[in-house]
Amino acid sequence: MIGRRLPDWFIVARREFLERVRTVWFLIVTILGPLGMAAMIIVPAWIAHKGAKQEARVHVVDRSVDAKGQPTKLGEEIISFADRLKLKFKFKNVAANTSRKELLDLIRREKIDGFLEIPKDGMDGGTILYRGSNATNLQVTALLHQVVNFAVRSKKNNISPEKLLALIAPVPFDSKHTTGEEGGSAGGAKLIIGYVMLLLLYVSIILYGNTVCRSVAEEKSSRVVELMVSAVKPRSLMWGKIIGVGGVGLFQLSIWGAMGFLLLTYRVQLLGAFGVGGATFSIPGVSLGTFAIMIAYFIVGYFFYAALYAAIGAMVNSEQEAQQAQMPVALILMVPLACAPLLANNPRSGATELLTMIPFSSPLLMPIRYLLGGATVTDVLVSMFLLVAATAVVVWVAARIYRVGILMYGKRPSLRELARWIRYT
């Protein structure tokens, strides 16, 4: 019995898939993805863990005086507040006549990390200066600013440190993200997951769409495509390329997603192996429905943009021209990224609803809107219907451009010529 012949597009897709999966670079990039995720978890936590054990060495030069010309001892009050708050600072009061040059020399020789200079009018609105090699550390400068504020207010208003700290003690407050369900989840963590989903979809679509464009342009410039269209119809060739490269992307994303899930699930054990403890932050769960929506929008969104990239590859004569011709599509993809903060601030607004219905932006924005509770299942179905319909139109137009463009050489076609290619039967 003679076996049934495989469709042409399937043969091309299988070739594209295997050709990329079998390369050393695919293996390297696939391995580097999980390693990069692990590094993002381990390195910041390890640095923060090491930094938390180190005390900042700060000299305090108190030149402040009151109306009678007597020292205010504001520097001592600052040190007292830092001790009460158990901050990681090693303060030392030095003589008021110590010059700035001497202090800068100590920083240069790494004897101290910085110095706090209190001017004569430090109690009356004068600017208290901090100069140090760790001034780029926002936590250090914020804590110094805080204790300086406490000390000045305590002195000026004649309030004891105990009473002042009791007055400004934070009130217990808890914020949870919910769309009506009991409990809820941490809003900040939910937003981070949404942004990760957005960036993952953006990078995947632009990366693999660009791969389709470069592949078409390379085969066209080397005239290999002339041999291929003699055996395969242009439409089947385009479909095969899009499906094959998309399959590689989906395969790679599946590996990265599985590894990312394992790394986050066992992050405490992973950090513990490097001597870093306290990794108890909670991560909101992502439902199976949300994950399915993300995959569906990646697949359809990829087809939408990959068809555009394939048409661009067929229009140009080299990879250099392809890089320039891709700019309009890349700029269109940048719009959803720029609008992401708008969606995060109000996922139920009219502007957000419009953006998640437009096919150019819905593949990136609808999954995050659904995750944040701003979209119903009906919204998702309407958005997906519009995206599928737009994708069908784009694929039809791209196929007509592709079948003519891959065999056309010379200058890049004008809009009038493209319209003629689309009408050509």
Instruction: Give me the DSSP letters along 88-112.
Output: SEEEEEE-TT--HHHHHHHHHTTS-
CA distances in angstroms from 180 to 176, 177, 183, 190, 328, listed in the order given:
11, 9, 9, 15, 41
For residue 325, give every residue at least 6 positions away whose Cβ sits within 8 Å of its Cβ, in sequence order, or none. 312, 315, 316, 412
Query: Between 288-315 and 234-265, two packed helices, what is the crossing angle to 10 degrees?
Result: 140
Q: Averaged over 13-23, what is the pLDDT?
A: 85
Residue 328 and residue 208 share a domain: yes
pLDDT digit string (tens) for 137-196? 888 888 889 888 888 888 888 888 888 877 777 777 766 666 555 555 555 666 777 777
Q: Domain boundary at 167, 201, 223, which?
A: 167
pLDDT exceeds cutoff 90 at 386:
yes
Q: Are residues 143 and 216 in the same domain?
A: no
Residue 88 inside a domain? The answer is yes
214 with 268, same domain: the answer is yes
- Whether residues 312 and 216 fall in one domain: yes
* pLDDT reading at 288 higher than 80: no
Whether residues 101 and 207 fall in one domain: no
Instruction: Give the CATH number of the domain where residue 79 resides.
Output: 3.40.190.10
Average pLDDT, the chain: 80
Asked whether residue 2 is assigned to any structural domain, the reply reads no
Residues of the chain with pLDDT > 90, as a percent, come to: 10
Report residue 382's pLDDT band, with 50, 70 and 90 as the boundaries. very high
Q: Does residue 266 sit within a domain?
A: yes
Mean per-residue pLDDT, 204-232: 78
Structure letter (DSSP) for residue 185: B
Cα 128 to chain centroid distance, Å, stands at 37
Same domain, 223 and 163: no
- Cα(50)–Cα(114) distance, integer angstroms: 19
Do residues 278 and 194 both lie within one domain?
A: yes
pLDDT given for residue 115 in this prediction: 93
Task: Please give the pLDDT value at position 143.
Answer: 87
**What amino acid is encoded at 163 in this protein?**
K
> Are 283 and 159 in a shared domain?
no
- Of 77 and 196, the structure prediction assigns the larger pLDDT to 77
CA separation for the pair 12, 51 (Å, rounded): 54
Instruction: Tell me, yes or no, whether 243 and 160 share the same domain.
Output: no
Contacts of range 348-356, beta carbons closer than 8 Å, 24 or more positions apart: 348/374, 353/379, 356/383
Q: Are residues 22 and 70 in the same domain?
A: no
Q: Among 299, 301, 298, 325, which residue's Cα sits nearest to residue 311?
A: 325
Place of tokens 């390379």: 218
Helix, strand, coil abundance in the chain, percent, nearest 5: 65, 5, 30
In the chain, the number of structural domains is 2
> What pLDDT, in 10s, does the model give residues 1-14?
445 677 888 888 88
Decide which of 109, 134, 167 is a domain's last residue: 167
- 55/78 Cα distance (integer angstroms): 16
pLDDT score recorded for residue 1: 42
Question: In this predicted structure, what is the pLDDT of residue 378?
Answer: 92
**Does 238 share its domain with 136?**
no
Residues 270 and 381 in one domain: yes
Is the pLDDT at 357 greater than 90, yes or no?
A: yes
Q: Which two tokens stand for residue 340?
A: 């992401």
Please report whether residue 258 resides in a domain.
yes
> CB-side exposure of 146: number of CA atoms within 13 Å?
17
Range of the domain at 100: 55-167
Looking at the predicted structure, is the pLDDT value of residue 74 above 60? yes
